[in-house]
Structure formats: structure tokens, C-alpha cells
Amino acid sequence: MIFANRAFPAARPRRMRRDDFSRRLMRENVLTANDLIYPVFVLEGENREQAVASMPGVTRQSLDKLLFTAEQALELGIPMLALFPVIESGKSNNADEAYNPDGLVPRVVRELKARFPELGVMTDIALDPYTVHGQDGVIDDTGYVLNDVTVEVLERQALCHAAAGVDVVAPSDMMDGRIGAIRASLEADGFIHTRIMAYSAKYASAFYGPFRDAVGSSANLGKADKFTYQMDPANGDEALQEIAYDLAEGADMVMVKPGMPYLDVIRRVKDEFKVPTFAYQVSGEYAMLKAAGENGWLDEKACMLESLTAFKRAGADGVLTYFALDAARALKG
């Protein structure tokens, strides 16, 4: 709304920007630790920690090391961890290891919930860490990802994680109908409290490279791509369609991924559906800011907080970010 009778000098917007106290009083969006979800990479073994070269400051950790990270997150007020496994053996064409009840992820979930019951734990429901080809599903002889066969495996994976005690399952595969199938299976098996955060608008983005390095799927994927199931970066209306489907099928929360290049999509989703909406500040976004900060081209702390606040301004209720620990520390003190 334009107030015609508030022309300069009656209106001096800089008056309210002059001092810190008045800037704080009129601040429209406030970032807190409550807005952060910390993605972590877990691997087999004990006393193991491997740096991810393309993601400075990020490591793959064995469970014993991860417990210290979880404790830090809890102390900083971060509500939830998102687990991503590094599967070093047992990969196959059909991703059978994805629903092994004694596999890496179920064991980590059980231990985290036993040690830190108040810390939320979310698991990735997708098959790419478990396949020899690096795709997010079961493929045919031409390399095409089979939708309905993959959904059956995803159902088994989600049930496996729910049985281990996970709080949130997050299907990131972009198969059609998988939210409805997973919700029906969870209900049928009595897991009525297990929440679903659907990667509803996951784009076939070039910003995922460092993540694929971290989980070890990059080499398996090779020169193949994921355009037949992840969304075209040129599309916005399609994202609203995908989210409508997932909500109708039983999603509790929805996600837009990547984050910063898709702030317009986040805003449209929140305006249209008014449901819990999350963004993923993906590995490429993180790596760019870290590289610029380490080279002295940008103020890393300031840009980190500005970028996370931008997600809030766009309408996100929370953000998955590799900056979570650093951001929570910065906000605390």
C-alpha cells in the first residue's frame, strides 16, 4: 500500500534505520537455532573421521564421533539432525541394503534416540547411497529409473527406519506416488507418529556435486544424470503441482531443494499452501560461501547469516544447512 500523504519530508524511512534498537523493533524476520536442521554424514567403523574436500569444515563420521556432534547440536538448541549414510560395501542394483534392519542407518538411529531422545532425527529415504549405479532407484536395462518398483523399495526402507525409532522420514527420490505409499505402510504398521518431510520440489540441480562426493555416489553415477525424475530448474508451476500431490498423499512437511536459487519457489509454496515449508541450503551453496570466505572475498559469518535469513524472509519455516553449528554459535553469542 502506498500512502500518498506520507511523502518526503513527512516520511523519512531512515529514521527507523538509524539506531540498532529501532532496527530490531521493526525486524520482520528473525533467525534462531530453532530454524536449523543439521545434515550429517555417517560411516561404518569406530574412531573414524574423514574430511570432505569439496565441503570445507564438513566431515564423514563414525557413530562414536557423531555422538559428540549430536551433543553439540543439542546444546546449541538445534532441533534435528538429518542423517546421510556413506555406504562402503553392500551396494547393489536393487539397493537391498537400504532396508537392512541391522544396517548403518537403523543402528545409528537407535543409538541417537537412546542417547538423546529429545533430539529430532530425520533419515533420507532414497536409494542412491545403496546402488552401484548411483541413481535414486531401481533401473531397467536402458538405465531408466523404474518408478513403481522403486517405490516398493522405498516403502521397505521407510518402515525399517521407523522401526528403528526415527522421528522423520524424508523421501528425496522424486518418484511419483511414493508419499502415499509410504504413509499407507506407516499407518498399517502402527507408526502413526512418524512424520514425513517430502522433498517435493527437488530440482535436477548442478549444485549437488559436493554432496555426491560426500556420500560416495558421484563415481557410481559417472556421466549419467537425474533429469528423468528430478525437476527441471526452469519450472515453477510444476513445483506447486508436486507439493499438492505430496500433501494430498500424507506429507506433514514439504521441502524445496536447492535453496538460494529457488527462493521464489519457496515464497510461492508458502503463500499457496501455508504448510510447514523447508529449504535445503545444499552442498554447492555451502561450498561457494566457504570458498569465498576462505579466500577473503566475502565475510563468511555475515554472508552465512544473511543467506539463512533470506530463507526465512522467503517463507521457509526451517533450513537444512551445513552451517547449522556455526550459525547457532553465532546467534548465541
Domain boundaries, the chain: 31-332
Residue from 65, 257, 290, 312 carrying the catalytic annotation: 257
Count of residues in the chain: 333
Q: Which three cell numbers stand for residue 313?
A: 524472509
pLDDT of residue 216: 61
Give the residue carrying C-alpha cell 553469542: 333
pLDDT of residue 10: 85
Share of the chain above pLDDT 90, in %: 90
202 labelled catalytic: yes
SS3 (DSSP) at 25: helix
31-332: CATH homologous superfamily?
A: Aldolase class I (3.20.20.70)
Q: Are 228 and 304 in contact (CB under 8 A)?
A: no
Q: Which three cell numbers stand for residue 111?
A: 543409538
pLDDT of residue 7: 83
257 labelled catalytic: yes
pLDDT of residue 121: 98
Cα separation, 46 vs 48, in Å, equals 5
Strand locations in 247-317 (E)? 253-257, 277-281
Quick: pLDDT tens for 190-245: 999 999 999 999 999 999 988 877 776 656 666 788 999 999 999 999 999 999 99
Binding-site positions for Mg(2+): 242
Count other C-beta atoms under 10 Å from residue 320's C-beta.
Answer: 25
pTM of the model: 0.94
Could you give the count of Cα atoms lying within 13 Å of 32 in the half-sphere of its Cβ? 6
pLDDT beneath 50: ranges in the chain: none
Give the residue carrying C-alpha cell 569465498: 292
Cα separation, 32 vs 207, in Å, equals 25
pLDDT of residue 37: 98
SS3 (DSSP) at 124: strand
- Buried-state track 39-65, b at ≥16 Cβ within 10 A, e below 16: bbbbbbeeebeeebebbbebbbbbbeb
Residue from 65, 202, 270, 312 carrying the catalytic annotation: 202
